[in-house]
Amino acid sequence: MRPRAFRWWDALVVAGLVLANLAALGAVAGRGPAAGVEIVSPAGTRVVPFGAGRVEVEGPLGVTVVDVGPDGARVVSSPCPLQICVRTGTVRRPGRVAACVPNRVAVRVVGRKAGGSGVDAVDAVGR
């Protein structure tokens, strides 16, 4: 018996990669509000301000629960089998994504928090 070249989970991986690339492109382009968390689902895209609390997002497999805190967001629970989105932890920096590919839900930090410079490191050579 000859194995199939493309399986259904391959489509999920491709969809996840496309979603992550689109999220990264949005971060590079600088689109979005001053600061918040963008939640993408089959129902659409919405931006939630930091500190909004728990948000329930409906996907094809069920409800994904996202906790939006004052410094980032994390997926608390999801009906997906591997729970990779839950194990991703809190996403804090702009452009970072926690995605539940089987449930078609993605959480991304957009913009920059007030008072943050957005600088990862400062070179102190020559001072």
Say if residue 37's pLDDT is above 80.
yes
Q: Could you tell me if residue 66 is inside a domain?
A: yes
What values do phi and psi take at 69, rounded to 5?
Answer: -95, -175
CATH number at residue 59: 2.60.320.10
Residue with tokens 């804090």: 92
Count up the domains in the chain and report the number.
1
pLDDT per position as a tens digit, 100-122: 999 999 999 987 654 445 555 55
Sign of CA dihedral 119, 87, 64, 82: positive
Which among 33, 76, 71, 66 has a CA at the least distance from the CA of 51? 71
Threshold 0.85, pTM exceeds: no
Q: Could you tell me if residue 116 is inside a domain?
A: no
* Host domain of residue 87: 8-111
pLDDT (average), residues 47-62: 92
pLDDT (average), residues 24-53: 77
Share of the chain above pLDDT 90, in %: 44
